[in-house]
Amino acid sequence: MEKPSVCFRDLGKMGYQQAWDLQTELHAATVARKKANRERVKAGEPAGEQFHHLLFVEHPPVYTLGKSGSLHHLLLDEAQLEAQGFTFHRINRGGDITYHGPGQLVVYPILDLEEFFTDVHKYVRCLEEVVIRTCADFGVYAERDPGFTGVWLPGDSARRQARRKICAIGVHLSRWTTLHGFAFNVRPNLTHFGNIVPCGIDDTDRAVTSLSVEVGRPIELEEVKPLVKRHIQDVFDFFWRERTT
């Protein structure tokens, strides 16, 4: 079986709804190609090439609530959201509430997992692995937490340091084709997380952090993007292709 090929797009700064509309469009096209290829195979014809996509984006300040989340974890009302310049969206990914904003690298893989592996848990672990490797590039040790999705930094009781989340993950699959992805805190305004119960986790010994805080210097997204892109290719084992759609 040949390696899949993935088309990469860096969307730059883009509103959440516009990026969501693009994800939906690419997902529908990917599922349609899968269906068409199955019909071709049934008819004794060779299947055509499947197209997979990887999107990088930086959103204006927005809170999103997953399908299993609680609205009570949003600590602002509609008037406060508007006054402070935030938007809010209910979406169909897993997980609870999270924040996206400037200084955060949001990554949306749109992959037909039937060309990779059909294992949702492995998919999430692979996304975590990408961020763990990227943190390591900056000398930051990050890890998985068996009880919580995402990427975490270990706490240190001697230094009164809580376990800290540096990356949130929320995905949705339909016809084994992925939507949504992960949000990597590179240099966001961490005070914006104070308006929510991040991911529905209100443990006092857990907090949110960023790569810049942990490294001790400002880190820009452009410094991080090529590393994330390389690690995604290594972890998922695919080729890059030229954009055709």
Long-range CB pairs of 229-234 (<8 Å, 24+ gap) are 229/8, 229/54, 229/56, 231/129, 231/130, 231/133, 231/134, 232/54, 232/107, 232/109, 232/130, 233/6, 234/133
Residue 165 confidence (pLDDT): 94
Strand-pair partners of 148: 145
pLDDT above 70: percentage of residues in the chain: 94
What length does the chain have?
A: 245
Return the structure tokens found at 107.
Answer: 């990554």
Q: What is the pLDDT of residues 171-190, one digit of tens each?
A: 999 999 999 999 999 999 99
CATH superfamily of 5-236: Bira Bifunctional Protein; Domain 2 (3.30.930.10)
Domain boundary assignment for the chain: 5-236
Please determine, for residue 244, whether its predicted confidence score (pLDDT) is greater than 60: no
Q: Which residues are catalytic?
A: 199
Its pTM stands at: 0.92
